[in-house]
Every structure is written in structure tokens, then in C-alpha cells.
């Protein structure tokens, strides 16, 4: 999981153009200033590209925090 969070930090920093971002299992959209619905789509696409996974629409709409995203990624690696 440490590798997943390390790689997720890189993706989040790129998408939101903010090198100070550090995500953990409880990080939500409320914790990152520019994380709106448009950036969410960009973020999902970037995460899918980084990890070579595809999220279902149900997974995308059901993710409550970064921890749930990391769990899905871990199951597919």
C-alpha cells in the first residue's frame, strides 16, 4: 500500500499542480481546494493511466475517500 500512496501522491500533485499535497486513506475532495467535479474526471483518468486500471462508474461514484480508491487499485494489481 505504501507504493500505491506514493504513486497516488504524484498523480494528485500533477493533476492539482500542488507539490504540497500528501494524500492518505481519509483524504476527500473537501481536503483539496481545487478538487471539483471537473478535476475529479481528470484525476480518475490520471489514476487509471498511472496504475493501468479501469474503474467502473459505480466505483467512481461510490468512492468516499482516497483509501477506497487505493483498495480498489490494490485488488487489481
Domains contained in the chain, CATH given: 2-76 (1.10.1200.10)
pLDDT of 23: 98
pLDDT the model gives residue 3: 97
Quote the CA–CA distance of 74 and 72 in Å, as a whole number.
Answer: 5
C-beta of residue 29 within 8 angstroms of C-beta of residue 54: no
Residue 50: partners with Cβ closer than 8 Å, 6 or more residues away = 7, 8, 10, 11
Contact 16, 60 (CB under 8 A): no
Cα dihedral: 42, 36, 72, 3 (round 10): 70
pLDDT, one tens digit per residue, over 30-56 is 999 999 999 999 999 999 999 999 999
| pLDDT computed for residue 57 by the predictor | 96
Give 61's pLDDT tier (boundaries 50, 70, 90): very high
Average pLDDT over every residue of 25-34: 96
Amino acid at each position: 500500500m505504501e507504493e500505491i500512496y506514493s504513486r497516488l501522491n504524484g498523480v494528485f500533485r500533477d493533476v492539482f499542480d500542488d507539490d504540497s499535497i500528501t494524500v492518505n486513506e481519509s483524504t476527500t475532495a473537501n481536503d483539496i481546494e481545487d478538487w471539483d467535479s471537473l478535476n475529479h474526471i481528470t484525476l480518475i483518468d490520471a489514476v487509471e493511466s498511472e496504475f493501468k486500471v479501469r474503474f467502473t462508474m459505480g466505483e467512481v461514484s461510490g468512492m468516499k475517500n482516497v483509501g477506497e480508491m487505493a483498495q480498489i487499485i490494490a485488488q487489481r494489481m
